[in-house]
Structure 1
Amino acid sequence: MPQSSSQASMVRLLSSAAALGALLLALVGCATAIKPHDETGAPMLGFQNMALNPGNGGELIKGDALRPGDIILTAENGLNSVGIRLITLSPVSHAAVYLGNQQIAEAVGSGIRVRSVDALVADEATVVAFRHPDLTAEQAIKIHTFAARHEGKKYNYVGVMLQAPFALERRMCELPLVPSMVRDFCIRGIAAVQLGLGRNDQFFCSQFILEAYRSAGLPLTDADPRLINPGDLLHMREGDVPSIMIHKPLKYVGHLKAAPQIIAAEQMRQ
C-alpha cells in the first residue's frame, strides 16, 4: 500500500533523527588533543582512534612474541562483549596480562584466574597485545606476584554494574575540543560521585590490570583504576588520545588473533 504524504514525512523525520543521533553519538566521547604533525611538526587536532587495527594494517604474532607484563585486549562475538563495547564505545571488551610461560591472568565472572594464551585466543574473536616501554624484568615479576596473590579472589560485580551509568555520564567530559586536563578532571569528578571513594579488593578485568601495574611501582595513570575500562586501556596506546592523563603510552606488539583484513595484509607481505 502506498504511503501517504504524512507517513512519508514521518519516515523522513525519523530517518533524520536517527542520522542526527548517530552523529551525536559519534561526536560525544570522541576525545581530542593538540598533537604535532608526524612530518612537519606543526600542531594539529588529533582524534581518539576507535579502530582496533593500527595504521599499518596490523601484524600477526605468536604467543612466544609476548613478554611478561604485556597487556592483552580482546573482543568476542557474544552478547556480553557486544554490550560492553556499545556502552564504552570501544572495539574491545576484555583485558588480561601476560605472566610468562604462555600463561595469562584475568578477572572474569568466576574470579581471578590464570590460564593459557591458547585458551584465551580460542575463546576470543580478536586478541591484541600492547607493551609498556619502561617495564623492567623486576617489575614484571611483581605483576606476576600480584596475580598469584589474588588468584581465586572474587570478581568486582558491583564495579562493573556501576560502569554502565558512569560510561554514559562521562561522555560529556569527552566532547571534542575539551582540553585534556579539563577532560581528566571532569571524568575523575564524575567517577568520585558514581563509583564512590572507597577502596575495593575485588577487581573487574581492566581494574585488575591497573592494580597489577600499580603494585609493581609502574602506574599507568594516577586515576582510580575503578574508572578504567578496556577501551581506556586501548586509548593509552601510542598515537591515540587517552581519555584520562597517563604517564607513558603503550607500544603496539601485535595481534594474536585478528580481523580478516589484517590476516589478508599479513599474507600479502609474505
Structure 2
Amino acid sequence: MPKPSPQAAMARFLSSMTVLGTLLLALGGCATAIKPHAETGAPMLGFQNKALHPGNGGELIAPDVLMPGDIILTAENGLNSVGIRLITLSPVSHAAIYMGNQQIAEAVGSGIRIRSMDAMLGDEATVVAFRHPDLTAGQAVRINTFVAGHEGKKYNYLGVMLQAPFALERRLCELPLVPSLVRDFCIRGIAAVQLGLGRNDQFFCSQFILEAYRSAGLPLTDADPRLINPGDLLHMREGDVPSIMIHKPLKYVGHLKAAPLMVAAEQLRQ
C-alpha cells in the first residue's frame, strides 16, 4: 500500500480533530486582562476579541496601502483552514508577510515560497493586514533578506502536528481571570513539554513570521516561535488580549478581502 503524502495525512488528522475543536468552542478559555477604560482610565476587565470583519470597525483596503513587513492573516473555506480555526478557536488559519512589489512570502506544505498578492487574494476568503508600529525600512529589508535566504526550504510538518494537542492543552492557561503573567508562564511551560526541541531550519506559517521579525532585530515576543499560531498573531493587535506577553501591539491596517457575510455586515453599516 502506498504511503500517504504529508498533506493527506495532515488533512485526515485535522478532520479527526474537528469534533474536539467544536467542543472547545463551547468550553474553551478566553484570555482576559485588566485594562484602563479608554475615557475614565478606571481599571476594567478586557476579553480576547475573536471578531474579525470590516463590520466590526474595520475597513476594506487596496493592496497598494501595504508596506514591506506587514503581516497578512488569512482564512479560506477548505478543510485544513476550518480544522485549524476550530482547534485554535480563531477566525484565521494562515499567516504570510508582505515583501513589497505586490508579493508575499509564506510557509506552506511545499515549503517556503514567494507569490503574488493577486494569487493569495484569489485563493483566500478573508485577508487582513497588520503592521508593527516600530518597523523601519532597514528592518523590512532584513526581513526580505531572511525570506530570500529561506525560499524553497521545507515546511515544518512536525511542528504543525504538535500544535494540535498543544492548542488543546493550552486552553487551561487561557481561562478567564488568569493573570497575564501566569497565563504566559503556563503556556510556555506546556509548550516546553509538548513541543520539545525542534529544528530551526523548517517553519510553519506563523513560526516563519516570528523568525523573520527576529532576524530583523524586532522580535514580536520572547516566546518560542513554535508555540505561536495565526490566532496568536491576531491577538497581538491593538485593543486585544494576547495569550502570551508581547513587546508591542500590532496596528490594524485593513482588510484586503472579506468573506461574503463580512462584506454584507459592512454594507449594512453604510
* Unaligned ranges ≥5, structure 2: 1-20
Match of 1:117 in 2: 117
Aligned to 1:107, the other structure's residue is in SS state: strand
Amino acid at match of 1:136: T
Contact kept, 8 Å, 2:54 with 2:263, in 1: the verdict is no
Q: What is the alpha-carbon distance in structure 2 between the residues aligned to residue 166 and residue 97 of structure 1? A: 25
3-state DSSP of counterpart to 1:29: coil
| 1:28 shift after superposition | 2.6
Find the counterpart in structure 1 of residue 8 from structure 2: none
Superposed displacement of residue 34, structure 1: 0.2
Aligned residue runs from structure 1 range 198-209, under 5 A: 198-209=198-209
Amino acid at match of 2:189: G
Partner of 1:136: 136
Post-superposition CA distance 1:92-127 (Å, at most 9, x none): 000000000000000000000000001001000000
After TM superposition, give the deviation of residue 53 of structure 1 in Å. 2.5
Partner of 1:5: none
Aligned: 1:107 with 2:107: yes
Structure 2 SS opposite 1:72: strand
**2:39 counterpart SS class:** coil
CA root-mean-square deviation = 1.9
Seen in structure 2, the aligned counterparts of structure 1 residues 194 and 244 have a Cα distance that, compared at 3 Å, is same
Number of aligned residue pairs? 250
Give the C-alpha shift of residue 263 in structure 1: 3.0
2:44 alignment partner, SS class: strand
Report the counterpart of residue 171 of structure 1 in structure 2. 171
Percent of aligned pairs with the same residue?
88
Provide the C-alpha distance between the structure 1 equivalents of 2:146 and 2:181, rounded to a whole number of angstroms.
31
Q: Deviation per CA, 1:22-78: give whole Å up to 9, x if none.
A: 897445330000001112111100000011136753211111000000000000000
| Cα offset, 1:259, TM superposition | 3.0
Residue type at the aligned position of 2:208: F
Letter in 2 for 1:76: E
Q: 1:240 is matched by which residue type in structure 2?
A: D
Q: Which segment drifts farther, 32-41 or 133-142? A: 32-41
Structure with larger Rg? 1
The answer as to whether partners of 1:174 and 1:183 remain within 8 angstroms in 2 is: yes
Deviations 1:143-180 (A, max 9, x none): 00000000000000000000000000000000000000
SS of match in other structure, 2:147: helix
**Bigger shift: 29-38 or 205-214?**
29-38
1:214 aligns with 214
What is the match of residue 162 of structure 1?
162
CA distance in 2, matches of 1:99, 1:182: 36
Q: Does the aligned pair in 2 maintain the 1:153–1:202 contact within 8 Å? A: yes
Partner of 1:146: 146
Taking the aligned partners of 1:104 and 1:82, their CA distance within structure 2 comes to: 22
- 1:251 alignment counterpart: 251
Q: Is there any run of 5+ residues in structure 1 with no aligned partner, and where? A: 1-20
The one-letter code matched in structure 2 to 1:167 is A
Structure-2 residue corresponding to 1:183: 183
Distance 1:257 1:25, change over 3 A: closer
Higher mean C-alpha deviation, range 30-39 or range 191-200: 191-200
Letter in 2 for 1:256: L
What SS does structure 2 have at the residue aligned with 1:134?
coil
Q: SS of the counterpart of 2:171?
A: helix
